[in-house]
Amino acid sequence: MPQIELLDETSQYPHAERLTRVLGALLAELGAVERELTLVLMDDATIERHNREDRGEDGPTDVLSYPTAEPGDLGFPQVPHLGDVLISLDTAARQAPQHGHTLHEEVLVLAAHGVTHLRGYDHQEDADWEPFLAAQQRVLQLERELAP
């Protein structure tokens, strides 16, 4: 089973166990059974700092992904750690009603989006969104299937 380290810097997220269980199931389905992931939940101020320092973008964002290895690192052995996904709980809370989600569902969708980036996908054009949308829909299905 994939290893997920969840760091809640806000100490406010009540569904940590559900989040890691569902995200682990998604990773397993994606063939990342032996992989590791760090998921960091933070506030807008913290993600805004990362967004500015790392991407040169002002303002907070919902999710940032930092792969451990870049796609195309041919000749190098695959490392177990897939990468880090940073999610702003403040932004997720604002976006959730717009998408018809609970906060937990929005965090799952953002985590799936971040994982898709870690797997080497990007969305520069409309057609590039397919793997993102598929992962985001599947994580919500898994949430319903694995709900207690």
Residue 16 counted as domain residue: yes
Q: Across the chain, what does the average pLDDT equal?
A: 92
pLDDT at 75: 57
* Helix or strand run (H / E) with residue 81: strand 81-88
What pLDDT score does 12 carry? 92
Q: Tens of pLDDT along 80-122?
A: 889 999 999 999 999 999 999 999 999 999 999 999 999 989 9
Residue 132 falls within a domain, yes or no? yes
Residue where the block lists tokens 């993600």: 47
User: At 103, which CATH number?
Assistant: 3.40.390.30
pTM, two decimal places? 0.93
The reply to whether 63 falls in a domain is yes
* pLDDT 10s digits, 10-38: 999 999 999 999 999 999 999 888 899 99
Tell me whether residue 148 is in a domain. Answer: no
- Which residue would you say has higher pLDDT here, 79 or 51? 51
Query: What domain range includes position 7?
Result: 3-69+78-143
CA atoms within 13 A on the CB side of 55: 14
Assigned domain for 35 exists:
yes
Q: Which pLDDT does position 71 carry in this prediction? A: 60
- The answer to whether residue 60 sits within a structural domain is yes
Total domains in the fold of the chain: 1
